[in-house]
Structure 1
Amino acid sequence: MECNNCSVAELKFDIKLEGETNLSLMDMIVHHLQRRDMEITRKDNRLLMKEPGAQEFLDFCLHLMEPERVQFRIDKGEWNGIEEMEQVFKTEWIDEVIRKELLVCHYQPIVTANEEIFAYEMLARFHHEDGTIIYPNEIFPAAKSRSRLYALDRVCRMAAVRHAAVLKDVKAFINFIPTSIYSPEFCLRSTTNLANELGVDPRQLVFEVVETEKVDDIEHLREILAFYKKKGFQYALDDVGEGYSTIELLADLKPHYMKLDMQYVQGVAEDAGKQKTALRFLEKALEVGSIPLAEGVETKEDFEWLKERGYQLFQGYYFGKPAKEPQKISIVGA
């Protein structure tokens, strides 16, 4: 049975009121919503209700209460100011995207120093039911505002595994958001089951941590990566930020691959500062036994510089843009 985070269940709002004026209006609010057949529960200075009730409450709050003394949260998430509730309602469209799985995966090649395809990264592309494109900078903030990050992350992972099943003799890099996962054993079970059903060799899949440097709970990340390792999968860190600055921690996580972010790749052949970062990154990767991968390669000069220093894998428009079908390498200018 799926939890609310796996599926697109109806949102539950927990609204906290403070201040004499707001507290004096609680009974009236409860009676009003009950008259309209809306479910509402009162617990001390808090009101628990579903989305229709929250929409009704917001209008009343902004006009007749002290909104600066009202907070809300969704499904036991973080508390937010009431002024942010409108954004939750405006992004309801994300529910349909997730429920109907309105996305496809594109393949972007990852190549070796010999310019041979080593893997493809599976990149989700979202769209509305009418076919109009939804960009990543729209989809993820919308999912976060409605506490749908796990549900979105799950459908992306499942779609990526299905698309990876067509690949032969090369790996598939699949992104995931570690902060959206509550319990690896529970939340990742459907992903591993699907891979088994499709006959995908676990060694073919590389699960890539999205926004590595923003992960605060290292122990939780360690548990997720240990789960993947136990199931036979590999994993990658997409960037090594301040939270991963020590060799000891990297050695503990033991990533199979470490990605150098494109901001240090593009123009590295001519930029001494980027060169210093790239070399330090390379040294760390090799020291902990990880394969260094440079992403965002767009020119021959940057590719040659990184290759000569010892980078082993490369990704970027220089080799090929994301495409609906796995493409052979098409070197820019070749």
Structure 2
Amino acid sequence: MSEERILTPVQAVKDALDVMMKSDENVVVLGEDVGVNGGVFRATDGLIDTYGEKRVMDTPLSEAGIVGAAIGMAMNGMKPVAEIQFFGFIYPAFEQIMTQATRMRYRTMSKFTVPMVIRAPYGAGVHAPEIHSDSMEALFTHMPGIKVVCPSTAYDTKGLLISAIEDPDPVLFLESLKLYRGTKDHVPEEKYTVEIGKGYLAEEGEDVTLIAWGAMMKVALKAAEQAREKGITCDVIDLRTLYPIDKDIIAASVQKTNRCVIVHEAQQTGGLSNDIIRIINDTSFLYLKSPVSTVTAPDVHVPFWALEKAYLPTPERVMDKIQYVMDF
């Protein structure tokens, strides 16, 4: 039986990197302060001592340079894991991702692939400065050629990150700042994988389907607990992968419960909830007893810390929407 430890998600990130760097010399880590300082959140702490500066590389402050270098490494047989210090810093690298990383397999008729991972901490609720807390995953789910992963538990963080590093194509790996040290669970010591593209039914119910990912899973589960006190039971789906989305788990749940509430901390307009609603309309429209409802951030920039609580979805707001779809 495998040994299991209680880890936080940020510890699970380091664990996954250590496992993969130990087993595959082509795996390298690069980014701002990932080496000597061990990363701003200590996700890579100590790796440079084990694997040296040729495999754990501190880079200049250039997101375009970090991603561009990683693309070149990946095309030449390496498996780079590039860290963007905060997801909101990724904008200068958008061109490299959109026009190079995601298109290389298509452009070269699969003669070249780009097996790279871009790790990026995201999300509000930690009182970070401007641009540090953005949640714009939908910009990348609109990009053919890249997978987008967003775990909510330490177990899934390790398993999905290992899967991402082993994937032959680029993967954007989003890590919730709020969950980095805000949750713990059992994580096996050995190498294991969690399949990219498969959601997880975190809680089972009969009346309403709640769909969330990342930090919003804690909000959805708390809302499901409040609903239970009122005699309403919820399926709570953790998507885990945002692109490609697990359409089957969504359809199966909505066809059972006949109602759905989607929760995400990105702004509403252009958010991933729109794609999920499309999936429900395509697969399960005639099963619905009420319109699909959403709980999201408003269409404003992430505010300064004093207003973060007003900006983010809360269990109470989700509970209000659960009651709405039940009463419709």
TM-score normalized by structure 1?
0.30
Larger radius of gyration: 1
More helix per residue: 1
* TM-score, length-scaled by structure 2: 0.30
